[in-house]
Structure 1
Amino acid sequence: MRSMRKWAAVLALVLAVNLALPVRAGAAKLVAITFDDGPNKTWTPKVVEALDRRGVKGTFFMVGGWVATKEELVQQMAQSGHQIANHTWEHLNLKDLSGEDVKYQVEKSREKLAEVAGQSQFLVRTPFGVRTEKVRAQLNAPLILWSQDPAKGKQVSGEKMARSVISTIRDGDIILLHDSTEANLDAACRIIDALQPKGYDFVTVDELFRLRGVTPQNGQIYKSVPPQTDPQAYDEGRLKEHWAYSSICTMEETGIMTGDSGGWRPNRYLTRAAAAEILWRTAGCPAPAAPVSFRDVSRQAWYAQAVDWAAETGVVKGTGRGLYSPAALVSRQQFYVMLDRLLQAQKTAWSTGCGPAYEDSFRISSWARGAVEEITGMGFSSANDRELFRPGDPATRAEAAELLAWYLTLE
């Protein structure tokens, strides 16, 4: 019994200091797994089932002329979040066709996919990866190729294909497979099962573009979408186009978060000092009863009073040894925990339900799971991504603004 109490104390200490650790949160590694030459009556449903079991959404480049007898399957795939894309009408080699015939192959397939999937715009992948200027001029869509082609047009075992991808995978890669053989199904399962534990998130091609802040252009070739050199950079001239713009306006109007001479900086990562400051402002800037002694928080610092309040109310814990680590970055799951503690400090009964089931929920740390479930159960869902939570990613100013703007609606 004494041993159990000892380990319980150790565990409590670990959980208590977790938020104080100056660990730099790392952005998730993103890859898109894509499938060509479907829909296949036998193998496409098996591929979809395998992906769904693993919480993965794939991108399926479909041949429009092969959809007619499988419309219900395609509708189900689109409704469940898999991305439907265009692989032309007849799977011909487009370099042998006139410009007019290329346009016909793309447009006829697009019309059929639109009729069945209920969408209007589709990414295009040309059969055999044809990418001539004449062909690209007729697509009226971005041309999506690949950076990982494990079969290279040959009959290869699933194990060999998977080994090729796993050994050379890079953040932002687009993987080419086919939903038409057992070997490809085997390869997909092996690839996902090996890479998910290594921190790779499998997203659709559309999500890959969106999460990387890239707007694909018609006729342009994309083989991968690697991380930006500076993921925190943002063109302030396009702020009105940012997914969190309405929340940013709310933060400006309330004075909780404001920009500076360089702009609003929506993609800038949130530090512990900034997190304490904006949560303190959200709470109405209450004066703490007494300053808390921190060796790394100057009493003249702009965030000192906010840190004192956060420590006093329990919004921030794990401040033993007189340290706060104000420059350390706050991960998404850490910010959820901080906001949830603010909710608890208000001692107000909020009604909760069942929040969204994120594909990567298995990555949410045990100490943060309750806070994430409570906030999402109260109705919060990020407009930036409704499929992935990305718990270890650094929280950005835009993500914090969206959460706090939602919080203000509760009052």
Structure 2
Amino acid sequence: MKHVRRWAAAAVLVLLLAQLLTVPAGAAKLVAITFDDGPNQTWTPQVVEALNQRGVKGTFFMVGSWVATKEDLVRSMAEQGHQIANHTWEHLNLTGLDAGEVRLQAERSRERLAEVTGQKNFWVRTPFGVRTQTVLNNIDSPLILWSQDPAAGKQVSGEKMARSVIRNIKDGDIILLHDSTQDNLDAACRIIDALQPRGYDFVTVEELFRLRGVTPRNGVIYKSVPPAADPQAYDENRLESHWAWPAISLMEDTGIMTGDEEGWHPNRRLTRAAAAVVLWRAAGEPQARRRADFLDVPKSAWYAEAVAWAEEAGVIKGTGAGRFSPAAPVTRQQLYVMVDRLLDRGSVSVGTGEVRSFEDSFRISGWAREAVERIEALGFTSRNDRELFRPQDPATRAEAAELVAWYLGVR
């Protein structure tokens, strides 16, 4: 009986720990799940169905010559948001091939995938991960390899593959599987079902690079995209190529958001003080009737007038004990709530348009969900939100610029 009680107590402890692990903590943990050697008439549709049921987008490295008779499947996968990628034309071992032969393998496959999907760019993964200098010089693409290979080229059960990935997973990993067997399908389902509750979000390889602010270069090998040591850093010489450049340019022209002597800092986190000032300027710099009641807002602070208006208008509220915490970062869902409070609620209802369902929609807090859905329904679509919403990530200046630029067009 004592043993039974001990096992029961242990089971309860495991359940409690599992519940704790499901609580998101800070920025999203991102991983990409990829599949080689397709399309397969039997297994690829089942893998796609399993991913869709879980709200996950995968990356499929396809052999160009194997697309024949499966064009509708490949086209549908692309339309659903899965990333189609290039696994060469014939799945040959490229070791020892000359430059022309390597180029032919990559180009013939790229042309076939483009013909079927209407897309242009297809990142390459070579069969067997071959990475000779001849390959790197002639594929005209980044070489996308992997950091998690649970089968290591052997016949391994789905349970064993999943256990290996779940035990060793790291933020930014690229997982290698194949859409060609039942074991790989089982592994994919087990991996996703185990890691999503632990705060991992599954994205395409392209999305992984973009959300991490990394621009892959042709002829360079990539095995993972871990979080940057300084995620707020950005090369200001490349500002016009930033995904939010149109909004950034508008913010500069209107004076709502400007840079400093060192640059515009698009990836820098937006603080509560900065958010108050930006929204105050976007609203036309209205005059507040009184000072802010917050204890930590000095009358001489550069953000004092904006905070006084934001509090009075209900755009920004304290975090308890009458404090404002000006240096605290604003999360993405908080930013949506603030902008939603600026909107004229009497003019448009929440249900006027389509509300997207992100893979991580379940992570949006209840108090923020209506605001997020309302802004989506009003027609806002971020260029940086294709698969994930990342509600608890700190909002960046670029993300704020894009949302405020939209607000200026609908207010």
**TM-score (normalizing by structure 1):** 0.91
Distance 2:61 2:345 in 1: 51
Report the counterpart of residue 111 of structure 2 in structure 1. 111
Please name the residue that 2:238 is paired with: 238
Query: Gaps spanning 5+ residues in structure 2: where?
Result: 1-23
Aligned to 1:186: 186
Counterpart residue identity of residue 354, structure 2: C
- Deviations 1:46-70, CA, capped at 9 Å, x for gaps: 0000000111111111111111021
**Take 1:121 and 1:311, find their aligned partners in 2: how far apart are those partners?**
48
CA contact (8 A) 2:292 2:304 kept: no
Q: Do the aligned partners of 1:139 and 1:219 also contact (CA within 8 Å) in 2? A: yes
1:202 aligns with 2:170: no
1:359 matches 2:356? no
Stretch deviating more after TM superposition (366-375 or 284-293): 284-293
| Deviation, structure 1 residue 292 | 2.8
Superposed CA offset, 1:231-265 (max 9, x none): 11111111111111111121122221111111111
Aligned to 2:297: 297
1:291 Cα deviation from its structure 2 partner: 1.4
Aligned partners of 1:339 and 1:215: how far apart in 2? Answer: 30
CA shift for structure 1 position 193: 0.9
1:337-382 CA-to-partner distances (Å, cap 9, x unmatched) read 1111121xx4541253222222211111111000000011000010
Confirm or deny: 8 A CA contact 1:40 1:180 kept in the other structure.
yes
Secondary structure of the 2:61 match is strand
Residue 18 of structure 1 aligns with which residue?
Answer: none
Q: How many residues are matched? A: 386
For 2:188, give the aligned amino acid. A
Equivalent in the alignment of 2:142: 142
SS of structure 1 residue aligned to 2:36? strand
Q: What is the aligned partner in structure 2 of residue 276 from structure 1?
A: 276
Deviations 1:319-346 (A, max 9, x none): 5422111111100000101111121xx4
The structural deviation recorded for 1:114 is 1.4
CA contact (8 A) 1:296 1:324 kept: yes
Output the amino acid matched with 2:167: S
Matched with 2:55 is 55
Deviations 1:13-36 (Å, cap 9, x if unpaired)? xxxxxxxxxxx9722111110000
Aligned partner of 1:404 in structure 2 is: 404
Q: Residue 26 of structure 1 aligns with which residue?
A: 26
Q: 1:350, 1:252 → 2: CA distance?
A: 29
Aligned to 2:252: 252
Give the percent of matched residue pairs that are identical in Structure 1 and Structure 2: 72
Q: Deviations over 1:49-92 (max 9, x none)?
A: 00001111111111111110211111111111111111111111
Aligned partner of 1:391: which letter? Answer: P
Change in CA separation of 1:322 and 1:404 when aligned onto 2, cut-off 3 Å: same
| Contact 2:141–2:218 (CA under 8 A) maintained in structure 1 | yes
Aligned letter for 2:347? A
Q: Corresponding residue for 1:310?
A: 310
Question: 1:69 aligns to what SS in structure 2?
Answer: coil
For 2:138, what is the secondary structure of its paired residue?
coil
CA 1:110/1:76 → structure 2, altered by over 3 Å: closer, same or farther? same
Letter in 2 for 1:83: Q
- State how 1:385-400 maps to structure 2 within 5 Å: 385-400=385-400
Q: CA 1:204–1:253 in 2, change beyond 3 Å: closer, same or farther? A: same
Distance 2:410 2:102 in 1: 54
Distance 1:360 1:205 in 2: 17
Inter-partner Cα distance in structure 2 for 1:357 and 1:275:
26
Moved more, 96-105 or 206-215: 96-105
Q: Is the 8 A contact 2:358 2:388 kept in 1?
A: yes
Note if 1:328 corresponds to 2:328: yes
Cross-structure match for 1:266 = 266
Partner residue in 2 for 1:16: none
Conserved? CA contact 1:36–1:177, under 8 Å: yes
Q: Secondary structure at the match of 2:148?
A: coil
Give the match for residue 218 of structure 1.
Answer: 218
Structure 1 gap ranges (5+): 1-23
Q: Is the 8 A contact 1:353 1:378 kept in 2?
A: yes
Structure 2: which amino acid aligns with 1:197? P
Which residue does 2:36 correspond to in 1?
36
Paired position in structure 2 for 1:11: none
- The one-letter code matched in structure 1 to 2:81 is G
Measured against aligned partners, the alpha-carbon deviations of 1:81-133 in whole angstroms (never above 9, x if no partner) come to 11111111111111143332222222221221111121222111111111111
User: Which residue of 1 is the match for residue 347 of structure 2?
Assistant: 349
Shift of residue 289 of structure 1? 1.5
1:311 and 1:319 in contact (8 A); partners too: no
What secondary structure sits across from 1:321 in the alignment? coil
Q: Give the stretch that moved more between structures: 106-115 or 38-47.
A: 106-115
Partner of 2:131: 131
C-alpha RMSD over aligned residues:
1.5
By relative contact order (CA 8 Å, sep 6+), the higher-ranking structure is 1
